[in-house]
Chains A and B, each alone.
Chain A
Amino acid sequence: MSQLAFFVNSDACSGCKTCQVACKDKNNLPAGVHWRRVYEVTAGTWQKKGEAWTASVGVYNLSVACHHCAEPVCGKQCSVDAIWKRPDGIVLLDQQRCTKCNKCRSDCPYEAIRFDGATNTVGKCDFCADRLDAGLLPVCVTACPNRALDFGEIEALRSRHSTGGTPPLLDRVFPLDDPAVSRPSLLIRPHRHAALVQDRQPEVSNWEEL
């Protein structure tokens, strides 16, 4: 079976959130509703030695949306079968069927499904399915000023971004949940400081923005 996936180059991500707003513009999402958002992960401490300051501080950003999981758990408890998977692997949520019971929101391990109080709808990233069908790229991918996002058929995408002896791409870095739960279709190039950060009690520092 075919499976589309996002590639996220966390190493090149500044956390500028252009992807987040491009997504909001495309989907007309009000303030407070994010289908794509960016974690700011920080760790480390400051030390003073004599008169000098040393920071053993690491930071990385991780842009995330719906991961269009190979085994989506969000739809398992949907009583009206409003969540379904296209042949290309995109996980879609049918607004017509949805009863706004919000079960999928609590089942998604990635908080990818969001409730919009203004329109009383539950929604999430649809991979810009309409754009894909028209031969275009997802709007977030075309938005990134530092060209840190990509997408494609997952194995082709993996090989495209695994050139030149680079370390293997990951499907999980902090704070993402265990990929065994739903097998997210996500390829991450971790930030060069990711190992250091994850060794030092990392935390998400921008909860109010998520």
Chain B
Amino acid sequence: MAAAKNIDTFGSDGVSRRCFLEIAAGVSLSALFGPLPAWAAEGTRVVRAGCPSHNCGGRCLLTLHVENGVIVRIETDDRPADGIEAPQLRACIRGRAYRRRQYHPDRLLRPLKRTGKRGDGQFAPISWDEALDTVAAALQRVKKAYGNQALFVPYGTGSYNQTNGRQVAQRLLNLFGGSLGHYNNYSWAAMARATETVYGTGVTGNQRQDWLNAKYVLMWGWNPAEVRDGTNTEFFLRKARENGARIVCVDPRMTLSAVSLADEWIPIRPGTDAAMMSAMAHVMIASNLVDAAFISSHCVGFDASQMPADARDAESYKDYVLGTRDKVPKTPAWAEPITGVPRETIERIAREYATRKPGVLYQGYGMQRRAYGEQVVRAGCALAAITGNVGVPGGWAGGLALQAPNGGPLWTVFPTGANPVTASIPTFLWTEAVVRGRELGAAQGVRGVEKLDASIKLIYAVASNALINQHANINRTAQILRDERLVEFLVVQDQFLTPTARFADIVLPACTQLEAWGVEDGWKYGDEVLLMPKVVEPAGESKSDYRICSDLAAKLGLRDAFTEGRTERDWVEAALTTYRKSYPGLPALAEFEQKGTGVFSVPVTRPAVAFADFRRDPAAFPLATPSGRIELFSAALHAMNRPTEIPPVPKYIPEWEGPFDATGKKYPLQLIGHHTLARVHSTMNGVDWLEEAFPHRLFINPLDAASRSLSNGDQVRVFNDRGELTIKCRITRRIMPEVVAIPQGAWWAPDAKGLDRGGAVNVLTSERWTPLAFGNAQHTVMAEVVKL
């Protein structure tokens, strides 16, 4: 891993990978996991376990072959049945390559303490006792000096099951008197907030088997082949297409999904989707293709006839689309120069979606991680509503689309306990809470208190590389974290020395999820529970996140309260009890283990349809919106009285940095940081089987490459006012002209001059947040590319 090259992570005392393998080889675990299949080699134990998966967007099954305490092969779901009701949970390339992460020579094996300046990456190994004593003392000191609000457990998904990951540290700090909370996330902040304004809930998605009922699927900025968005999502779409659905993909990149799933790809300029959606609405209204009856009975704010009482004269959705007030009809001709999409194409897609019903308009998350990202969410929901595609089989309401009928998988069931600190901040604004915490209030999205009492002074980062690598504007964040007067103590608990860990005062080595007990259910979609038994012993001195927090709890006098006398396995058993309420028939742990399947699936034979009740009888089953209906016009947003940034009807708003403004003149290329199969965000960086399959490259259109005299494979410099990085370029037809892409998540590795040689896209992104959701807008970036 390039970022760690200039320090010796764990080699100085002779603890090496070879040594670890010898230790591990001496360990033998009893064969707990069911009968040995006849095809396994003699002496091999076979364990079926949920893939560590981190936060890839899927939850798949691995079949691990273990010899002498070492994983020697990773296969996947081998259940004989692979039907549409409960298809096999086949792991992607990342799960299949996991051995190369599990046995990576850069694994952290011992606790470390910082020996140089913060951020310089110089460390010395120390004992667990010294490490935990240091952390405990810092927690006590900061709590005494500033109060619990100065403590912070940031967002992170580098380890991600019920007993591993940040939530166990949250439980510990809650018992310690609490810590500053945070809400929303880096994935879908604007999506979640904006969907609620339309539907009053985020549960707007049907179970995916229902896609087989669709006649049309618009994959809008949605790329499940790379981001997963539920294991098997691409497989269900393939089946939908085979069943007769026409699939169209709107995206600046011709993604893996566009190639494997779509009949047609429509490139669109990033950040302009709401303009195309508005123009589609114009076509539908002008040609009378809207579902007038549904609008009349189920929506508000479409036109003057259904405006809320306190906004009778405000601009309706139809007013905006037709340009009644602003004299700008949002026609396809209007949208063409904004989006770069030919007007005829916009018109055709509008007609197709409005007439090939039922249809799915699925909105990906990338386009809402942008300036005014809320608008594209509301605009897409509006199209679903005015075409009457809500609440019907084969249709799709749009928005966040958690799974009907009850929200689908449960995310965190591990009990973190109540946080005695009531204050919380939007996840993306943590640097603000570091540099000016006491100024933050409602205007910055603070909840629970009027103003914060303290800035963040101690950060306990577990499985989080979001402090440096995945947060926006790395150079700014690094400067903030280097200043020890701001964050006075930073402890990082992780499996590798990430760019974030390089800023730690103390580094605590966590084991992988294959080395500790855990359990999970599906990722957003899916109806299954995956057991994650401990497969092999932890590497070196590493421990599970739960065990580390237990040991730290002991130093703080909280061990019994923290553990309740339970091991990780006991917590898994407790989690199964919670899951059983959603997954009836889920066996108890002993039986689950004995079966050896690793997964419990609930077949979906009659897929649930979101809003089916509301569709049938809107009076008896009103939505949780203020009006009880689908809010094309939101009175709540209207009352905020910030129409230029938070309009009550969805609008296209030019971004704060874009191709049409002064920034665009200086830096003419729009840059997006898409997801890659080479990593899960920044996790799995440096895994050779993944890097060779998907080399880290800047993707650039042949026309833009030619005008810059670039050849394929040239080392280029990518820069704007916030920073610069260097990377090789891949010239490809699969990206729109004037747009370039760098897969997000590569590890930041600045040279002495600050040029990032790791290719971390966040050296170029901005910390500015979206106006309504306080979400990250990390895809709104202008940059220039030159040959290095």
Contact = CB atoms under 8 A, between A and B. Distances in A.
Nearest to B738: A53
- Nearest 6 interchain pairs by C-beta: A14-B260, A51-B337, A14-B256, A14-B225, A31-B688, A52-B342
Interface in A16-56: 16-18, 20-22, 24-26, 30-32, 42-46, 48-55
A160 to B, nearest CB: 15
B518 interface: no
Contacts of B82: 147
A205 interface: yes
Q: Which of B677, B691, B733 has most chain A Cβ within 10 Å?
A: B733
Contacts of A46: 701-703, 733, 737
B733 A142 contact: no
Given A22-B75, A48-B737, A142-B76, A14 B341 contact: no
A16 B226 CA distance: 8
Nearest to B98: A25
A25 B733 contact: no
Contacts of A136: 39
Nearest to B713: A208
Contacts of A60: 259
A13 interface: yes
A59 interface: yes
Given A14-B234, A143-B90, A55 B340 contact: no
A185 interface: no
Contacts of A146: 225, 234-235, 238, 260
A52 B343 contact: yes
Contact of A51 (B38, B336, B677): B336
A57 interface: yes
Contact of B265 (A12, A21, A55, A145): A55
Contact of A25 (B74, B263, B342, B737): B74
Given A51-B340, A59-B254, A145 B693 contact: no
Residue among A18, A54, A145, A147 with max Cβ neighbours from chain B (10 Å): A145
B73 interface: yes
Nearest to B691: A31
Contacts of A14: 225, 234, 256-257, 259-261
B569 interface: no
B715 interface: no
B388 interface: no
Interface in B703-753: 703, 713, 732-734, 736-737
Q: Classify the secondary structure of B's interface with A.
A: mixed
Interface string B311-338: 0000000000000000000000000110
B96 A21 contact: yes
Given A46-B701, A51-B336, A209-B693, A147 B91 contact: no
A22 B733 contact: no
Contacts of A59: 254, 259, 733-734
A192 interface: yes
B689 interface: yes
B97 interface: yes
B99 interface: yes
B736 A53 contact: yes
A7 B406 CA distance: 40
A147 B342 contact: no
B38 to A, nearest CB: 7
Contacts of B261: 14
Interface in A141-199: 142-148, 191-192
A143 B76 contact: yes
Contacts of B70: none
Given A21-B97, A26-B75, A55-B267, 15 more contacts: A14-B234, A14-B256, A16-B92, A21-B93, A25-B689, A42-B732, A52-B340, A60-B259, A131-B39, A139-B75, A142-B76, A142-B90, A143-B91, A145-B234, A145-B235
Interface in A81-124: none
Contacts of B342: 49, 52-54
A46 B265 CA distance: 13
A68 to B, nearest CB: 21
Interface of A: 11-18, 20-22, 24-26, 30-32, 42-46, 48-55, 57, 59-61, 131, 134-136, 139, 142-148, 191-192, 205, 208-209
Contacts of A191: 259
A135 B226 CA distance: 32
B564 interface: no
B692 interface: yes
B677 A26 contact: no
B719 to A, nearest CB: 24
B78 interface: yes
Contacts of B90: 18, 142-145
B265 A147 contact: no
B695 interface: yes
B677 to A, nearest CB: 6
B161 to A, nearest CB: 21
Contacts of A192: 263
- Which of the listed residues A17, A136, A205 has the most CB atoms from chain B within 10 Å of its own CB? A17
B692 A209 contact: yes
8 contacts: A16-B256, A16-B677, A25-B96, A46-B737, A50-B337, A134-B38, A147-B238, A148-B260
Give the size range of B's interface with the partner. 35 or more
B39 A135 contact: yes
Contact of B733 (A24, A44, A50, A51): A44
Contacts of A54: 342
A208 B96 CA distance: 21
Contact of A142 (B75, B337, B702): B75
Interface string B225-238: 11000001011001
A12 B237 CA distance: 10
Nearest to A38: B693
A57 B733 CA distance: 7
B73 A17 contact: no
Contacts of B39: 131, 134-136
Contacts of A25: 73-75, 96-97, 99, 689
A18 B342 CA distance: 36
A16 B90 CA distance: 13
Contacts of B97: 21, 24-25
Contact of B73 (A26, A31, A32): A26
Contacts of A61: 259-260
A209 to B, nearest CB: 6
A147 B260 CA distance: 11
A17 to B, nearest CB: 4
A152 B693 CA distance: 27
B713 A17 contact: no
A75 to B, nearest CB: 29
Contacts of B695: 208-209
Given A18-B92, A55-B265, A60-B259, A142 B78 contact: yes
A20 B693 contact: yes
A42 B735 CA distance: 12
Given A22-B75, A42-B732, A59-B259, A147 B235 contact: yes
Contacts of B701: 46
Nearest to B697: A208
A191 B263 CA distance: 10
Given A31-B688, A46-B701, A57-B733, A15 B256 contact: yes
A54 B703 CA distance: 13
Given A22-B75, A25-B97, A46-B737, A145 B92 contact: yes
Contacts of A44: 733
Contacts of B688: 30-31
B76 A53 contact: no
A65 to B, nearest CB: 15
Contacts of B260: 11-15, 61, 146, 148
Contact of A143 (B96, B232, B340): B96
B55 to A, nearest CB: 18
Contacts of A30: 688
Contacts of B92: 16, 18, 145
